[in-house]
Amino acid sequence: MDCLFCKIVSGQIPAKLVHQGDSVIAFDDINPQAPTHVLIIPKKHFENVGELAANDPLALKELFIAAKEIAASRALAGYRTVFNTGAEAGQSVFHAHLHLIGGRALQWPPG
């Protein structure tokens, strides 16, 4: 399968890793939207968060615990966690990934 994030998991494509867990890894987003913009992904391939939740709920939980730990390690005053699902919602990589965004004041609602 030709999946960018599977290639990051396997090391075929380099990324700036910031966290590694049993079933997840986290790395810096290549096009950061805030001082902290980390992508936290399951090592196994799932197309989106719905598929991940249905098939590997433990990994889904690990993603959020990783977000909490990364935010704490950077002493973020607050942070946002986002899954985009489907192209209309802005999903461009079809391997489930949790955006962890923080380090600046964030607007609501998002665009």
Question: What is the nearest approach in angstroms of Zn ion to the Cβ of residue 67?
Answer: 19
Q: Rounded to 10 degrees, what is the CA torsion of 107, 102, 36, 84?
A: -70
Q: Is 90 in the site for ligand AMP (CB under 6 A)?
A: yes
Name the residues annotated as catalytic.
97
Which of ligand AMP, Zn ion, none interacts with 15 (beta carbon under 5 to 8 A by kind)? ligand AMP
Residue 42 or 102 having the CB closest to Zn ion: 42
77 vs 93: CA distance, rounded Å: 28
DSSP string, 9-67: HHTSS---EEEE-SSEEEEE-SS-SSSEEEEEEESS--SSHHHHHHH-HHHHHHHHHHH
Q: Smallest distance from the beta carbon of 8 to ligand AMP, in angstroms? A: 6
If one asks whether residue 15 binds ligand AMP (CB under 6 A), the answer comes out as yes
Give the DSSP H or E segment for 102.
strand 98-102
Q: Give yes or no for residue 3 binding Zn ion (CB under 5 A).
A: yes
12 binds ligand AMP (CB under 6 A): no
Footprint of Zn ion on this chain (CB under 5 A)? 3, 5-6, 45, 95
